[in-house]
């Protein structure tokens, strides 16, 4: 044990003044060779010292409920998180910092697992693995897995300036808020993975992260497979943010949200689910180069019991005000079903109030509501209010069963849509309007949409303000490549007037005036919508016509699973086939498959299909 000397206030001031000009001599205390438990190693350390922990699994008193005692020291493992485990055995959380520790206090290279806290109030019931209450440490290269708490199953934060780097926060559970992380006051996260965390019960907000009341900065982070789900009998259930629920100042750069779910489920009351990938409220959110892929907002109830109504919106993102630049929304869904009192779904990719989007892609997003007494499914790609602005965006293959397969503009006023491609939408008109919103389109290509192109509330804008209707000639849509061919009418040299580039992506194939091997043959492609699918979907292709074609589905081993003959002399152009017609009653096991037209036309490639059930 390091000796402590008590100083008078005067002598302490002299000592601190002298210490500021003397070199620091930080000590290293080793566990278990010098101190038998981690807490004893911490107790033996002074500010600036390092407690170095050897590989092993640490259990029992002295190895959980660790407390730095207000000192900015470093707790580090010798061999990293895989080899150094703090196993709380369900008896306590792993680490509790609560006496003003700052950024120099560091936790590095540990797995913290099986931590738990008792049910109660904040902060006692928060942070199953680590709780930072009035402390702002640095947490680096740690794994917080299989922990539980009422709030923040993995990590609880009440801080101003905590920093988390290269951490995995996975498979944690919370009873109400933040399956992985809960807190506020300021947080920076870099290269972290938030995966497979859950929260739910009577409340369920932020399956991965629930954060508010301070700046949230995230760079190069991945949030996937997190679930927020409210469920119960005889009560109103509201769920927000499968991956992330956040307010305040938010800055996310190169982050990925994939396969997160916000769900609201019960028997006989109103259900409301929003923000499958992220739910953002407040007026200061910025997303740069972020991906929202395969997230879901769902609201489901028993059709024979429910008397209220169901709403689901923002499969990818639900926000009040946000700016998105270079973001991709793909395969997200909002769906509502089961309630005879009415079902509403809005914004498969994005549901926003005053959203600004620059160079963003919306591909294969969807909204659906079942066909009971009253239903509305709007804005397969995006549902936005007046004041929103799309600039150089690309919409392709989005669907809504009621209105606005690509974009639904709501509330009085005007949304602005400039230099944007709206193509190959399914089921309903591409752009719909409600509440007196009359969107103004400029330099837009609206083409190949199932319910018509310049129809409905945008009918009068065809041919005006640089607007047109022509195949955008995407390079390789079956491979999710929505760059455009050099001969595309959306290319800067080909677009009308002074429009310049139309769409989110620049020329990515072809040479102007020359049909090279990489040029799509009359826009040839094959694709499946939605993808992933659960047994209900559409197979779509663009065929040259006149040749004998067969749709074939193969498994990962290359074995033929299904085939469907199209016959000779099939019409040229865009064609569709219901997935159920292709399957012909066959129930496929969940998994990955490849679909192709046989023989392949130039520019076509097999498409990867994910079957979920």
Question: Please, which pLDDT band fits residue 561 given cuts at 50, 70 and 90?
Answer: confident
Q: Is 26 helix (H, G, I), strand (E, B) or coil?
A: coil
If one compares 543 and 426, the residue with the highest pLDDT of the two is 426
If DSSP states are collapsed to H, E and C, what string results for 508-535?
Answer: EECECCECCCCCCCCCCEEEEECCCECC
Give the per-residue pLDDT at 337: 76
Question: Please, which pLDDT band fits residue 419 given cuts at 50, 70 and 90?
Answer: very high
Give the per-residue pLDDT at 601: 54
Q: Alpha-carbon distance 544 to 527, whole Å?
A: 16
Q: Tell me: pLDDT of 518 over 60.
A: no
Q: Locate tokens 């939605």: which residue?
A: 530
Express as a percent the part of the chain with pLDDT over 70.
82
Q: Tell me: pLDDT of 201 over 90.
A: no
Closest C-alpha among 225, 196, 292 to residue 252: 292
* Alpha-carbon 393 to chain mean position: 19
Question: Please, which pLDDT band fits residue 157 given cuts at 50, 70 and 90?
Answer: very high
This model's pTM is above 0.85: no
If one compares 584 and 292, the residue with the highest pLDDT of the two is 292
Write the CA distances from 326 to 122, 146, 393, 419, integer angstroms. 38, 35, 9, 14
Question: Rg (Cα) of the chain, in Å, rounded?
Answer: 28
Question: Please, which pLDDT band fits residue 322 given cuts at 50, 70 and 90?
Answer: very high
Q: Alpha-carbon distance 322 to 288, whole Å?
A: 11
Segment among 41-55, 195-209, 294-308, 515-529 with least mean pLDDT: 515-529
pLDDT, tens only, 71-90: 999 999 999 999 999 999 99
Q: Tell me: pLDDT of 586 over 70.
A: yes
Give the per-residue pLDDT at 233: 57
Q: Tell me: pLDDT of 477 over 80.
A: yes
pLDDT, tens only, 245-289: 999 899 999 999 999 999 887 755 678 888 999 999 888 899 999
Give the per-residue pLDDT at 612: 65
If one compares 479 and 27, the residue with the highest pLDDT of the two is 27
* Alpha-carbon 17 to chain mean position: 50
Which CATH code fits 525-611? 2.60.40.4070
Give the per-residue pLDDT at 11: 33
Rounded to the nearest integer, the mean pLDDT of the chain is 84
Segment among 20-29, 75-84, 144-153, 354-363 with least mean pLDDT: 20-29
> What is the end-to-end Cα distance of the chain in Å, rounded?
60
Q: Tell me: pLDDT of 548 over 90.
A: no
Give the per-residue pLDDT at 446: 97
């Amino acid at each position: 044990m390091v000796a402590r000397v008590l100083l008078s206030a005067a002598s302490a001031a002299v000592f601190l003044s002298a210490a500021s000009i003397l070199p620091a001599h930080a000590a290293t205390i080793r566990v278990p060779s010098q101190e038998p438990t981690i807490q004893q190693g911490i107790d033996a350390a002074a500010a600036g010292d390092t407690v170095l922990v050897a590989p092993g699994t640490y259990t029992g008193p002295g190895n959980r409920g660790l407390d730095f005692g207000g000192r900015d020291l470093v707790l580090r493992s010798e061999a990293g998180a895989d080899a150094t485990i703090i196993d709380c055995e369900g008896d306590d959380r792993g680490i509790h910092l609560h006496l003003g520790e700052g950024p120099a206090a560091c936790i590095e290279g540990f797995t913290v697992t099986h931590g738990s806290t008792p049910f109660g109030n904040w902060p006692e019931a928060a942070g199953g693995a680590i709780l930072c209450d009035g402390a702002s440490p640095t947490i680096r290269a740690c794994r917080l897995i299989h922990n539980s708490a009422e709030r923040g199953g993995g990590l609880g934060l009440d801080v101003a300036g905590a920093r988390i780097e290269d951490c995995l926060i996975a498979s944690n559970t919370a009873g109400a808020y933040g399956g992985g992380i809960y807190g506020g006051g300021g947080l920076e996260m870099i290269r972290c993975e938030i995966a497979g965390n859950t929260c739910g019960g009577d409340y369920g907000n932020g399956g991965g992260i629930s954060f508010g009341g301070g700046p949230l900065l995230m760079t190069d982070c991945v949030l996937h497979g997190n679930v927020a789900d409210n469920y119960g009998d005889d009560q109103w259930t509201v769920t927000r943010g499968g991956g992330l629920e956040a307010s305040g100042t938010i800055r996310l750069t190169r982050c990925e949200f994939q396969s997160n779910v916000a769900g609201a489920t019960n028997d006989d009351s109103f259900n409301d689910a929003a923000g499958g990938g992220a739910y953002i409220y407040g007026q200061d959110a910025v997303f740069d180069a972020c991906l929202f892929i395969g997230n879901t907002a769902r609201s489901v109830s028993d059709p024979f019991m429910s008397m209220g109504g169901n709403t689901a919106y923002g499969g990818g993102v639900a926000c009040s005000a946000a700016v998105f630049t270079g973001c991709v929304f793909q395969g997200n869904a909002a769906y509502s079903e089961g309630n005879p009192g009415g079902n509403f779904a809005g914004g498969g990719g994005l549901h926003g109030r005053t959203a600004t989007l620059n160079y963003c892609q919306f591909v294969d997003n969807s909204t659906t509501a079942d066909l009971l007494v009253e239903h509305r499914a709007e804005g397969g790609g995006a549902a936005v209010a007046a004041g929103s602005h799309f600039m150089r965006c690309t919409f392709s293959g989005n669907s809504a069963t009621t209105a606005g397969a690509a974009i639904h503009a709501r509330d009085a006023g005007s949304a602005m849509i400039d230099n944007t491609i709206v193509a190959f939408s399914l089921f309903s008109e591409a752009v719909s309007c409600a509440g007196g919103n009359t969107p103004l389109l400029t330099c837009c290509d609206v083409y190949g949409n199932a319910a018509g192109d310049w129809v409905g509330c945008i009918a009068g804008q065809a041919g005006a303000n640089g607007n047109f209707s022509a195949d955008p000639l995407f390079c390789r849509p079956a491979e999710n490549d929505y760059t455009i061919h050099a001969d595309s009418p959306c290319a800067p040299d080909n677009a009308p007037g002074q429009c310049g580039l139309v769409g989110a992506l620049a020329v990515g194939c072809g040479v102007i005036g020359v049909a090279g091997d990489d040029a799509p043959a009359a826009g040839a492609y094959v694709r499946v919508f939605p993808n992933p699918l659960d047994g209900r979907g559409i197979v779509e292709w663009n065929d040259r016509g006149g040749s004998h074609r067969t749709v074939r589905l193969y498994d990962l081993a290359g074995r033929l699973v299904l085939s469907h003959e199209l016959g000779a002399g099939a019409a040229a152009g865009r064609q569709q086939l219901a997935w159920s017609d292709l399957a012909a009653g066959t129930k496929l096991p969940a998994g990955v498959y490849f679909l192709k037209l046989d023989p392949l036309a130039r520019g076509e490639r097999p498409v990867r299909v994910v079957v979920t059930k």
